[in-house]
Amino acid sequence: MTKVWHQAKYDRTKAEDLGRSLNIHPLICTILAQRDVTTKESVERFLWPKLAYLKNPFEIKGVELAAKRIVQAICNHETVAIVGDYDVDGITSIALMMNVLGRFDVQPNFYVPRRFSEGYGLSREITARLLEDGIPNLVLAFDCGTNAVSEVDLLKSKGCDVLVVDHHKASNAECSNCCIINPHIYEQVSDGQQRIFCTVGLVFKLCHAVLQILRRRRDRRATTFKMSDELDLVALGTIADLVPLVGENRIFCRYGLRKLASRDRRAGIAALCRVSALEEGVPIYPADVAFKLSPRLNACGRLSDAVLPVKMLLSDDYDEALTYAYELDETNRERQTIEKDVAEEANLIVQEHYVNDPAIVLFNKDWHSGVVGIISGKLARDYQRPCVVLSCERGLAKGSGRGVNFINLVEVLNGCSDLLESWGGHPVAVGISMKMENLEAFRARFCEIVASKMKNADFVEVIEIAGELNIDEIDDDFMHDLELLHPFGQANIEPIFLLKSVIIRDKPELFGNTKAHIKFWLNRQYAKRILVIGWEMADNIPPILVKLDLAIKISMDFWNGNKSKLITMVDWRSSE
């Protein structure tokens, strides 16, 4: 793909007005203007978010009814069962509700689907396992359940009340007949921000509502419970689920990341950080959650049984939690080995058979279903085209699809829906299943639709430049102001800056196990030189001793107790 550098558009007058009213670097004001954060109130809420800015949880449809039912269960000492998905969002949702109910002497049984024998979500199989342990008064389904119509009906027929907290869109016209907290299933949602919550964010709002009701009833346990102590769990699920980090999600993550890094963090988080090589007392950023913490929490759900990470998060004993964390780490290493083998095999198949196809659809019954989503994402990035990778699971061809920015996978799959048993997801990430006999027809149809959309696609990767920066401006004051924009993520992307006419004096070094990355240093006039990293840029090494323009990101690097500024190179070009 062609790479094009564009200056981000913004209202210059508004940026200058911000510069006069805020005592921060002008480039930060420019970025605020680019993100349409220009009023006094919006700037205050964005740069200095407060817990007081969180909205009334009862504004979300279904929360009041669900909260009252949970309070009833607490007051009557009822039996409660929780079912949650096996990803980070589901795991953290379970742990959060277990913490809250445990404070009020309710000890629920919790269930996480066994991927290979029970499938996804509130399936018939996990419902049967739940009922084998006795019929609970109340069943809570987290990050699943919206479409589990027959399973919910079965539970209700046994005398269970069912509450669903979910953020997935309904895959058919009929939703489960129970109390559902899911802003995506209601046509009228007064606050569009509600639709950006992941499940653990909605569970937090529900728990907050439960506490408010109990506080009105003068329950002392509720008055001393601090919901803010649970924001580490909310941040984990919110970042891992790639929901927009704006509005209340931004507040969740700003405070939750601080809790993750604090010295009084929960035993399970401390243990997880230790095996993830995250030093105590060092700030934790969304990238740390995405690339270090989340893969370990997800590994058991991909390969075996995701009960283990829940137990780790709930443990009050550090040594016990550390034992769980090391097991998660070992499972993640196993996942990486499986992923590497599948990726190599998949790449060979693409090269031999599908390298010229407009889209890639791969199937191998022997591939591990827990890694096919990762592989489809890697192939989509490497070949810059939509990719679906499938394995055999419970008699069906089942797997994941990943897209590219100029192709909407939801629109593509709408045209293939008659060939699918089930599907759902987002424009760039979907999950699908189909009968084996439909595989070739699906491949042909999928490629045909993608090809028709590609005719009008613009195969250009746009690198949006937030503004130009002099290398000597990258000082402590600038880094302090840049920190105000954190946390970066969906809908609040990390800004890319332009360094003009810099000269690399020494040949860049290759590093990493496969020597895929490069590093070099840039000299500065008023400070010591600064390190530049180019991830996976070994095949695009910039020349030395000539003037170059660099598109960069800037961050702080923490290593062995030392703190330093780090530049990550996104792209380079000749200054001429």
Residues 438 and 473 in one domain: no
- Does the pLDDT at position 1 exceed 70? no
Task: Please give the tally of structural domains in the chain.
Answer: 3
Location of structure tokens 């946390």: 487
**pLDDT band with cut points at 50, 70 and 90 for residue 304:** confident
41: domain CATH number is 2.40.50.460
Q: What is the pLDDT of residue 83?
A: 96
Residues 220 and 102 in one domain: yes
Examine the fold and report which residue of 431, 457, 483 is the final residue of a domain before the chain moves on.
457
For 158, the 3-state DSSP assignment is: coil
172: domain CATH number is 3.90.1640.30
Examine the fold and report which residue of 225, 244, 263 is the final residue of a domain before the chain moves on.
225
Which structural domain range is residue 116 located in?
55-225
Query: Is 344 a member of any domain?
Result: no
Query: Is 373 a member of any domain?
Result: yes
**pLDDT band with cut points at 50, 70 and 90 for residue 513:** confident
Provide the sign of the torsion angle of the four alpha carbons 270, 276, 277, 281, taken in this order. Answer: negative
Residues 375 and 502 in one domain: no
Q: What is the pLDDT of residue 172?
A: 65
Residues 19 and 139 in one domain: no
Examine the fold and report which residue of 183, 209, 225 is the final residue of a domain before the chain moves on.
225
Residues 37 and 165 in one domain: no
Q: Which of 14, 6, 60 has its CA nearest to residue 33? A: 14
List all residues 6 or more positions away from 440 whose beta carbon is below 8 Å from its beta carbon.
none
Residues 390 and 452 in one domain: yes
Residues 68 and 119 in one domain: yes
Query: Is 475 a member of any domain?
Result: yes
- Does the pLDDT at position 561 exceed 90? no
- Does the pLDDT at position 405 exceed 90? no
Query: Is 348 a member of any domain?
Result: no
Residues 92 and 219 in one domain: yes
Query: Is 541 a member of any domain?
Result: yes
Query: Is 213 a member of any domain?
Result: yes
Residues 524 and 432 in one domain: no
Neighbour-count burial for 548-558, b at 16+ CB within 10 Å, e otherwise: bbbbbbbbeeb
Q: What is the pLDDT of residues 156-171, one digit of tens each?
A: 999 999 999 998 876 6
Q: What is the pLDDT of residues 427-470, one digit of tens each?
A: 778 889 999 999 999 999 999 999 988 876 556 778 999 999 99
Residues 480 and 419 in one domain: no
Mean pLDDT value across residues 108-117: 90
Residues 439 and 537 in one domain: no
Q: What is the pLDDT of residues 333-385, one digit of tens each?
A: 999 999 999 999 999 999 999 988 999 999 999 999 889 989 999 999 888 88
> How far apart, in Å, are the Cα atoms of 87 and each of 101, 170, 232, 296, 409?
21, 19, 16, 10, 22
Residues 387 and 498 in one domain: no
**pLDDT band with cut points at 50, 70 and 90 for residue 176:** confident
Query: Is 109 a member of any domain?
Result: yes
- Does the pLDDT at position 409 exceed 80? yes
Query: Is 342 a member of any domain?
Result: no
- Does the pLDDT at position 29 exceed 80? yes
Q: What is the pLDDT of residue 230?
A: 97
